[in-house]
Amino acid sequence: MKIVPLTAALMALVWAPAVLAQPASKTATASPTATAFLTQFATDGTDSVSWAQFEAFRKQRYAETDRNHDGHVDEQEYVDEYLQRFDVRLADARAGHLRQTDTRFKALDRDKNGAVSRAEYDAAGERTWAGYETSQNATQETAAASSRDPLKMPTSHTANGMLELYDRNKDGAVDREEFDAVRAASFAATDTDGNGKLSLAEYTAEFEGRLDQQRQRVRADAERQARVRFASLDKDADGRMTFAEYQLSGKRMFDRADSNGDGIVDARDPEPVAGAHSANGNR
């Protein structure tokens, strides 16, 4: 399903009123929630989105989602449209992770001989463990960080990531024995030619495998959540979502980003309180 952008005429009519609105200070920094909202819905380098602009965008998206043009959106149409957008985010995130692979490999390869020895690998492990011991209470992943990475790849730089990577017995903690065992197994699995060191190709292939496994898990979870959202939005449970039902979630999304309630999302909106609905466009 191809998503068609708003026509120039529609954009001109809808976005014109925003010119009359008092602009946010150019020196102001938007909150994480406002930034996520503006990244998705602001166009042509603008730094604000009014309710009228957002509603026009939602009407266009609703029409595009209604593939059979019967005036309603059914569950499969809703899920397919969401997954199409989500797949783009996943692909971008995967590419971003892979771009960092060479940098991470070079950081491990301390003697710059083009391979990571077991000693170099273990030295990196010592640094990781030391960081975990001293800062595990201060490195919890935030909701904003999770939103930035739709793949939600676990990282040893956070306490949550350490648990996901190394907590084998799932007791909510990582001890040194677990940590060492997982790292030893990971080195052996990555060293596919068994020469006792890791090449860039081996290192990249192992990481790509984990990326793709994570993508499958995250995408399956996203599809399940999309079906739950559809059921929640389809208030009369007739299997067809009207625009009014669809826009209930849009209003919640806009209101969360427009935390000062002035009808415009921009840098003047402070970060909303925890627990409000997401502004990342899931609905």
Q: Does some domain include residue 47?
A: yes
pLDDT tens for each residue of 167-225 = 999 999 999 999 999 999 999 999 999 999 999 999 999 999 999 999 999 999 999 99
Q: Does some domain include residue 161?
A: yes
Can you give the pLDDT at residue 46? 87
- Domain residues for 204? 97-215
Nearest CA among 165, 153, 109, 157 for reference residue 130:
157
CATH of the domain at 258: 1.10.238
Same domain? For 132 and 185 the reply is yes
Number of structural domains (the chain) is 2
Q: Does some domain include residue 84?
A: no
136 pLDDT more than 70: no
Can you give the pLDDT at residue 6? 42
Same domain? For 55 and 165 the reply is no
Number of residues that this document lists for the chain = 283
Cα 146 to its chain centre, rounded Å, is 6
Residue 86: Cβ within 10 Å count: 18
Same domain? For 44 and 145 the reply is no
Query: Given phi > 0 = left and psi -120 to 50 = alpha, else beta, which region is 192?
Result: alpha
Mean pLDDT, the chain, rounded, equals 87
Q: CA–CA separation, 41 vs 35, rounded Å?
A: 10
DSSP 8-state assignment for residue 100: T
CATH of the domain at 165: 1.10.238.10
Q: Does some domain include residue 231?
A: no
21 pLDDT more than 50: no
Burial 169-182 (b: 16+ CB within 10 A, else e): eeeeebeeebbeeb
Residues pairing with 49 in the sheet: 265
Those residues whose C-beta lies under 8 Å from the C-beta of residue 52, and which sit 6 or more positions away, are 14, 17, 18
